[in-house]
Structure 1
Amino acid sequence: MNHLPDDLDNALSGSQGSHASLLSVHSVHPGQLMARIESYEGREKKGISDVRRTFCLFVTFDLLFVTLLWIIELNVNGGIENTLEKEVMQYDYYSSYFDIFLLAVFRFKVLILAYAVCRLRHWWAVALTTAVTSAFLLAKVILSKLFSQGAFGYVLPIISFILAWIETWFLDFKVLPQEAEEETRRLLVQDASERAALIQPPGGLSDGQFYSPPESEAGSDEEF
Structure 2
Amino acid sequence: MPIMSINASTSDMRDVSGSRQDKARQAGNALYGSIHNQAVEPRMENESYTYVYGPERISTHRYSPCSTVSSVRRTFCLIALFDLCFCFILWVIYTQLTGSETVWEAFEQQVANYQFQTSLFDTVMVAALRFILIELGYALFRLNHWWLIAISTSLTCIFLITKVFLFEFSHDGKAENPLSYILLLTSFILTWIETWFLDFKVLPTEKKILLRGTHGEANERSGLLGRAEEGGNRVVHDDDKDRYYSPAGSDDEGEDRYRSLPPSRSHSRKASQSSVNSLLGSQDHEYLKIANETMDMLFELVREGGWITERESQGDMVQSAYIKKLKRKIFKLECTLDISPHELWKDTIDNVNDSPSWNPTLLESKTLLVVDEKTDISYNIAAEAAGGLVSARDFINLRHWGERDQTFFIAVNKATFPDMPPQKKYVRGESGPCGLVFNRVTGQPNRCKLQWFLNTNLKGWIPQAVIDQGLTGVLMDYCKYLRQHIQEIKGRSFS
**TM-score normalised by length of structure 1:** 0.65
1:174 aligns with 2:195: no
> Among 219, 226, 245, which residue is 1:197 paired with?
226
For structure 2, list consecutive stretches of 5 or more residues without a partner in the other structure. 1-31, 34-59, 232-495
Q: Report the secondary structure of 2:215's partner residue.
A: helix
> 2:96 touches 2:103 (CA, 8 Å); kept in 1?
yes
Q: Which residue of 2 aligns with 1:122?
A: 145
> 2:62 touches 2:210 (CA, 8 Å); kept in 1?
no
Give matches, 1:81-100, under 5 Å: 81-100=104-123
Change in 2 beyond 3 A, CA 1:43/1:144:
closer
Q: Which residue of 1 aligns with 2:74?
A: 53
- CA shift for structure 1 position 182: 1.1
1:112 aligns with 2:150: no
- CA shift for structure 1 position 153: 2.0
Q: Could you report, residue by residue, the CA deviation over 1:23-53 in whole angstroms, capped at 9, with x for unpaired residues?
A: xxxxxxxxxxxxxx99x99997762000000
Q: Which residue of 1 aligns with 2:178?
A: 151
Q: Which residue of 2 aligns with 1:71?
A: 92
Change in 2 beyond 3 A, CA 1:52/1:94:
same
- CA shift for structure 1 position 99: 0.6
Distance in 2 separating the partners of 1:102 and 1:118: 22
Distance in 2 separating the partners of 1:84 and 1:70: 10
Distance in 2 separating the partners of 1:123 and 1:100: 23
Give me the identity figure in percent: 38
> 2:96 touches 2:106 (CA, 8 Å); kept in 1?
yes
> 2:94 touches 2:180 (CA, 8 Å); kept in 1?
no
- CA shift for structure 1 position 198: 6.3
Q: Could you report, residue by residue, the CA deviation over 1:106-134 in whole angstroms, capped at 9, with x for unpaired residues?
A: 11001111001111111011111111111
Distance in 2 separating the partners of 1:133 and 1:117: 22
The structure with higher relative contact order (CA 8 Å, sep 6+) is 1
> 1:55 touches 1:167 (CA, 8 Å); kept in 2?
yes
Change in 2 beyond 3 A, CA 1:63/1:146:
same
Number of residue-to-residue matches in the alignment: 165
1:102 aligns with 2:130: no
- CA shift for structure 1 position 73: 1.1
Distance in 2 separating the partners of 1:145 and 1:121: 40
Q: Report the secondary structure of 1:149's partner residue.
A: coil
Distance in 1 separating the partners of 2:77 and 2:62: 20
CA RMSD of aligned residues (A): 3.1
1:160 aligns with 2:187: yes
The structure with the greater share of residues assigned to strand is 2
Q: Could you report, residue by residue, the CA deviation over 1:130-164 in whole angstroms, capped at 9, with x for unpaired residues?
A: 11111100011012112663202210110000000
Change in 2 beyond 3 A, CA 1:42/1:138:
closer
